[in-house]
Structures are given as structure tokens and as C-alpha cells.
């Protein structure tokens, strides 16, 4: 008898501002313990709670690439509490922290790291543009990439 961990990604309903698209969805990774025997080894794992759409999978892959690329950038801002750990955070730790921020608070990620995103990387956030904060950051960053000046904020009269 062999014990194995089965990792699945589920799409679950969450608060309106979470990453996953305009459908108010949140990604949750769940580990389930299963006992594998000769009789059950050929059984397929249970289906996810909700199906993942192709667009959601593409967005997740894009976010993973963004976090991976940024984790290798020297001199990128990280909160002091994150950097105090000994030994200093490794590239996988930095990637995990960036990915967590991406999913937890996309507007904050765009505010902190949007200036180093390419136009293609910004396109991964288009599905979230309906969120006021994400849309504002996207318009500002796209204007800067196009060579123009960022749109003025309302209070700058």
C-alpha cells in the first residue's frame, strides 16, 4: 500500500477583487491524501470543483512567468520584513512572494512592479481592467510604455 499526495487546482468563488478574471474567482491549491492500491491505482483522480477555462489557465501561466522573471531581477523592491529573514530569501522564495502578491492584491503589484512589466506582461492584466484600481494602473502604465505621459490624477487640478 502506497500513500501519495494528489495536488489539484480548484476555481472557487471569492471576493470581487481577487485574481482569476472578471468572474470573481480565486485559485486555491489543495492537497488531498489518497491511499493507492493495486485496485485504485488505475482510477482517475476526481474532477475539480469547477472547470478551469482556457483563459484562466493562460492567465495563471502568464502570472507565473511574470513572478519568475521578476524574482531574478536584482534590486527589485521587497518589504523589509521579507528581507530580514536569514538566510536571505532565495529566488524560489522571492517568486512565491511575488506570486502571492499578484493573486492577493493585483493593484498593489502593479503599483510596485508595473514599471518593469513589458507590454505583453501588462496584457495579462486586461481581464482585471474592470476593477477600478487595476484599470487605473493599466492605463497609466500603457501610456508610459507608449511614450506619452501618464494620465493626471483627479486631485492634480
Q: pLDDT, tens digit, for every residue of 10-38?
A: 333 334 444 444 433 344 444 444 443 33
Q: pLDDT, tens digit, for every residue of 57-92?
A: 888 888 999 999 998 888 888 888 888 877 888 889
Q: How many residues does the chain have?
A: 157
CB 31 within 8 A of CB 11: no
> pTM here?
0.60
Distance CA 102, CA 97 (A): 9
- Residue 51 DSSP code: P
Cis preceding-peptide flag for 76 (omega within 30 of 0):
no
CB 11 within 8 A of CB 25: yes
Q: Would you list the domain boundaries of the chain?
A: 2-145
CB 43 within 8 A of CB 25: no
Element (H, E) at 137: helix 132-145
Amino acid at each position: 500500500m502506497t500513500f501519495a499526495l494528489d495536488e489539484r487546482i480548484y476555481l472557487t468563488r471569492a471576493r470581487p477583487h481577487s485574481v482569476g478574471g472578471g468572474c470573481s474567482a480565486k485559485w486555491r491549491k489543495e492537497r488531498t491524501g489518497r491511499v493507492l492500491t493495486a485496485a485504485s491505482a488505475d482510477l482517475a483522480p476526481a474532477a475539480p470543483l469547477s472547470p478551469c477555462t482556457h483563459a484562466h489557465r493562460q492567465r495563471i501561466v502568464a502570472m507565473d512567468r511574470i513572478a519568475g522573471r521578476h524574482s531574478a531581477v536584482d534590486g527589485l523592491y521587497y518589504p523589509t520584513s521579507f528581507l530580514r529573514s536569514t538566510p536571505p530569501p532565495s529566488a524560489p522564495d522571492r517568486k512565491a512572494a511575488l506570486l502571492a502578491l499578484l493573486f492577493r492584491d493585483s493593484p498593489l503589484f502593479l503599483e510596485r512592479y508595473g514599471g518593469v512589466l513589458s507590454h505583453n506582461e501588462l496584457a495579462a492584466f486586461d481581464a482585471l481592467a474592470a476593477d477600478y484600481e487595476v484599470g487605473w494602473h493599466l492605463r497609466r502604465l500603457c501610456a508610459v510604455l507608449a511614450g506619452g505621459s501618464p494620465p493626471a490624477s483627479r486631485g492634480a487640478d
